[in-house]
Structure 1
Amino acid sequence: MQTLKALTWDHPRGYNALAAAARLPELAEGGLAIEWDKQPLEGFESHPIADLCARYDLVVLDHPHVGEAVDANCLKPLEDIFDEATINLLSAESIGPSLSSYRFAGHHWALPLDAATQVMAVRADLLDGPAPVLWDEVLMLSQETGKVALSLAGPHAALSFLSIAVAFGEPPAERDPDLLVSEQVGVEVYDLLNELAARSPHVVGDLNPIGILGHMATHYDVALVPLIYGYVNYAAPERGRPVAFHNAPRLEIGGRPGSTLGGTGIGISRRCEVTPALKRHLLWLMSAEAQIGFIPSHDGQPSRREAWHNPGVNARWGGFYSNTADTLEQAYVRPRHNGYIAFQAKASALLREAFLENTPARNVIDRLQALYADHRGTKGGER
């Protein structure tokens, strides 16, 4: 019997389906056992990937870690395990950039288990009309109600900045990998965030997305969060009111919904012995059977496009998937060079401090660009 140690993150969406799949009789019949451990969301976002791969055979990771992983040589590329036809099929079946986000330095480094991006979260019963579509409407709602909250804790201040830049027509570091954002767009994005942050309810200021959504479901002081990573579980919570999810805001009608890709992938560490039984299990997790049936029924959030448009899946979860699929299809993929994770953490801290002190926009943009340049160099070269 082969026993593998595996690590995911501590939330029903990250753990329940994987743990239940590991108990399926087919695994034992194939001579395979997988023991899933959990780490907090904050560890998933920032813990060094090389350390995790030294201790685990399978690691659920976020795509910005792949540059760090490549430099540490701690993951096996999917091309060493699966043939080209299988990888091409996975790419075609995955929603948005769910698989391509794990491609770096000429290889793919994780299987797209779970798809997510920043979307708009709404307590429909606390609004007088429909959910806003444009950033101007979000700003007006904030001014009128004081119940528009931002997700700013951890890396999320920087992620919100990146997303609004996308909506404003300038995906960061995309045209020029050495330039985070132009001064003009950077100032516009900062000024919008700064005004929203000034009125964002303080009660959720230190909470991660899970904490904010849990608060929204059980309190009445947050009516809307314009950018927050979608968690399907809160569309039909066990306690409290349902949170409705909509596409991320746009600058103008027909514009791109600005949003930064999240989601998770399963990476295979260098220490792992890949057997036929393990390959079968991993590909089953990507299959229509698992992604449309098994994973959603065990609190998971699938990565397969077919599942996001499945009527049965949407009926169970209040239209969460169909209401936000457009945002996911157009989601922005962050830089993945070694050093990006450190930049993201420091940029978020810089922005939170700037909001508190109402720092002039141009000063903040100059400091963000300098910080980005400091963490841009390193090896790997590829975004």
Structure 2
Amino acid sequence: MTYRGLTWDHPRGRAALERAALAAPGLIEWDVHSLEGFESSPIEDLAARYDVLVIDHPHLGDALAGGALSPVESWLGAAEIERVSADAVGPSLASYEAHGKTWALPLDAASQVSARLPERVAEAPRTWDDVLRLARREPVAPNLAGPHAMLSYLSICVALGEEPAVDGAGELVSERVGVEAAQILIELSRTAPSGTAELNPIQLLERMRAERDVAYVPLVYGYVNYASGPGSIAFGDAPEGPGGRIGSVIGGTGLAISARTTPDPQLVALLSWLMHPLTQATLIPEHSGQPSNGAAWHNAEVNRAAGDFYTATRRTLDESWVRPRLPGFTAFQATASGLLREHVAAADAAGAWRAVQGEYARTLAGVTIPPLQPQT
């Protein structure tokens, strides 16, 4: 049979998968959807139509509640999963774990990092205080479009020394930290170049590369595709807080199989091959991908071809914070992002914290991962 796969429509999301599919003609055909579709489309809906899905880990809560995915343990051996886990950079495999099971293989590793124009910002600011000082003399843009307003907010909270409490009880973050994080976004938004607040990460990086009117972005999901070639962007670690902690929310993508699909050995072999250290260090980066394998991140040739993207951002990836895999979390981060944008535009830091906390209490307080649906 021919399996149907779904990934996202960017060279980083599709090129390596399409090239790998040529190794097994007729085995899998890949469709694509937009970055916004990848960030917001319910996995449980997509799994009804596709056999193999490239997913984002925060969707797992809703996907598991609907019994949409097959645990990796049901189609891949424990020794192979253990090897992938040992090789994975940062928490890129751990982000797909829930309920004592693994629900996807980390094809791609990414977290929010900093991006700068090297001719305007010679060295990335180390701390958030440094970022605010830079914004007084160079155009600095926070990433606030779509869910990224909330993701930026959460990352700043982590840097300020407080990991969000996502156990469904109490405050998401304290008032002190939540207000301070919102104030940072307000200050950066005051001087950000016009139109940048509406740009998703890809659009923001495209604008940086083409128009050169955004000198620095403190938190944007790293895209190795923009780190080399004409107009290349310099990527670096995300800013630290006063205690030296880098604040960043892990992203990346995972390969998952629909619960309604029984993969044959040929499909399992292809997915396993995509995770092999040699594949991760060759085919993935050679076809616009961003590997999840730690050895690939340390590979001198891979880094040289990528403008040292991997060595420059590895610490951030290793320290990145993992979002909860709770039902309703993706809806929460979307709604909370809209509330944050409203209060940032109004320069109301206290109101931003109250709005985010209120939405958290309304949608997530007391929520836990429900029992697994029986696998059919």
Under a length normalisation based on structure 2, what TM-score does the superposition of the two structures give?
A: 0.95
Q: Spell out, residue by residue over 1:122-176, the C-alpha distance to the aligned partner (whole angstroms, 9 max, x if none).
A: 101112x42211111110010122x101110000000000001111110111587
- The answer as to 2:226 corresponding to 1:234 is yes
Equivalent position SS for 1:161: helix
- The answer as to 2:357 corresponding to 1:369 is yes
Q: 1:103 aligns with which of 93, 97, 101?
A: 97
Cα deviation for residue 380 of structure 1 reads 1.3
CA distance, structure 2, for counterparts of residue 119 and residue 167 of structure 1: 13
- The answer as to 2:206 corresponding to 1:217 is no
Question: RMSD value over aligned CA atoms?
Answer: 1.5
CA distance, structure 1, for counterparts of residue 170 and residue 112 of structure 2: 24
Cα deviation for residue 187 of structure 1 reads 1.1
Superposition pairs of residues 1-383 of structure 1, within 5 angstroms = 2-24=1-23, 27-28=24-25, 33-127=27-121, 129-145=122-138, 147-173=139-165, 177-237=169-229, 240-252=230-242, 255-359=244-348, 361-376=349-364, 377-380=366-369
CA distance, structure 2, for counterparts of residue 177 and residue 369 of structure 1: 11
Q: Spell out, residue by residue over 1:218-259, the C-alpha distance to the aligned partner (whole angstroms, 9 max, x if none).
A: 11210000000000000114xx5110000000014x712110
Contact kept? 2:108, 2:291, Cα under 8 Å:
yes
AA partner of residue 116 (structure 1): A
CA distance, structure 2, for counterparts of residue 347 and residue 307 of structure 1: 36
Equivalent position SS for 1:140: helix
Equivalent position SS for 1:133: coil
Q: Spell out, residue by residue over 1:63-82, the C-alpha distance to the aligned partner (whole angstroms, 9 max, x if none).
A: 00111110010100011112
Contact kept? 1:151, 1:207, Cα under 8 Å:
yes
Contact kept? 1:116, 1:230, Cα under 8 Å:
yes
Contact kept? 2:27, 2:267, Cα under 8 Å:
no
AA partner of residue 232 (structure 2): P
AA partner of residue 217 (structure 2): V
Structure 1 residue runs of 5 or longer lacking an equivalent are none
Q: Spell out, residue by residue over 1:302-326, the C-alpha distance to the aligned partner (whole angstroms, 9 max, x if none).
A: 0001111110000001000010011
Equivalent position SS for 2:351: helix
Q: Percent identity?
A: 49
Contact kept? 1:173, 1:335, Cα under 8 Å:
no
Cα deviation for residue 197 of structure 1 reads 1.2
Under a length normalisation based on structure 1, what TM-score does the superposition of the two structures give?
A: 0.94
CA distance, structure 1, for counterparts of residue 41 and residue 279 of structure 2: 29
CA distance, structure 2, for counterparts of residue 107 and residue 177 of structure 1: 24
Contact kept? 2:325, 2:369, Cα under 8 Å:
no
AA partner of residue 111 (structure 1): L
Contact kept? 2:51, 2:258, Cα under 8 Å:
yes
AA partner of residue 350 (structure 1): L
Contact kept? 2:344, 2:352, Cα under 8 Å:
no
AA partner of residue 61 (structure 1): I
Contact kept? 2:167, 2:368, Cα under 8 Å:
no
AA partner of residue 182 (structure 2): Y
Contact kept? 1:164, 1:258, Cα under 8 Å:
yes
Choose 200-209 or 301-310, whichever is displaced more.
200-209
Contact kept? 1:198, 1:355, Cα under 8 Å:
no
Cα deviation for residue 362 of structure 1 reads 2.2
Are the structure 2 counterparts of residues 175 and 61 from structure 1 closer, same or farther at C-alpha, using a change threshold of 3 Å? closer
CA distance, structure 1, for counterparts of residue 127 and residue 86 of structure 2: 31
Contact kept? 2:340, 2:355, Cα under 8 Å:
no
Structure 2 residue runs of 5 or longer lacking an equivalent are 372-376
Contact kept? 1:260, 1:333, Cα under 8 Å:
yes
CA distance, structure 2, for counterparts of residue 81 and residue 228 of structure 1: 34
AA partner of residue 36 (structure 1): W
Equivalent position SS for 2:323: coil
CA distance, structure 1, for counterparts of residue 314 and residue 169 of structure 2: 27
